[in-house]
Copies of this chain bind each other. A is one copy, B any other.
């Protein structure tokens, strides 16, 4: 496995691979890899000649009061995991190499990114879209895999690829969960033992929504209220949002009549966790 730190070298390498007719698969990550990431890497591995994984904790997608500095890092462990997964190139750029000090050009998605995490984290999706556009231009992937855990990010990136005509096929990787249901996340590392138990309320609230729909309830107001009650019983859990949106347009839904994405963000102590599920009425 080759480790590349320079954006310029990454791009030159990618362009040479493309000229040689190779297909490139790509999994962009912020590192501290877990089973969720590995599932994305495995999905990409089977669909390309050359597999590139990037590790870059992107400052542009963190707000001023968020956890950029605290975000967990363990490059040596990530490197070993990538070797085991058969990654060909690990792209590990420095922050300064990725953004000029006078950077002034950004990619903005103006519709799908407005609510949910976009509402709670102003500027987050501008940072996400911009870094993904940059990474696509540097890595030149034919296919890129993004996880369904970040449901809104996935849809925003798909929209960016469509609207800016990137020649990249986006592959959706299903959420990977711990045996007790907690969605895998690098931020789970922040939780102490008690919080780890409390964090189960996200998946439990989604399961509740799914059962209510299965029983015939179609009212978002009613279902959301019961999810709020469930999470309200967990001390230390503070709801950021529980949203029901159309799975394609991300427009808020009041009555569940077609595929509906239910997504939530909950703070467990200081740790903000997200999870989601698609409801099929």
Contacts and interface: CB of A to CB of B under 8 A. Distances in A.
Nearest to A19: B21
A140 B167 CA distance: 9
Interface in A122-167: 129-130, 133-134, 137-138, 140, 159-160, 162-167
Contacts of A249: 102
A108 B106 contact: yes
Contacts of A164: 105, 107, 130, 133-134, 137
Contacts of A130: 164
A212 to B, nearest CB: 31
8 contacts: A11-B167, A18-B18, A100-B162, A104-B109, A105-B129, A105-B163, A130-B164, A137-B164
A82 B100 CA distance: 38
A159 to B, nearest CB: 6
A15 interface: yes
A255 to B, nearest CB: 22
Q: How large is the interface on A (under 10, 10 to 19, 20 to 34, 35 or more residues)?
A: 35 or more
Contact of A165 (B19, B134, B167): B134
B109 A137 contact: no
* Copies assembled: 2
Contact of A137 (B7, B100, B106, B166): B166
Nearest to A15: B167
Among A134, A165, A249, find the residue whose CB has the most chain B CB atoms closer than 10 A: A165
A70 interface: no
Contact of A105 (B7, B15, B108): B108
Contact of A11 (B111, B134, B165): B165
Contact of A19 (B18, B99, B134, B137): B18
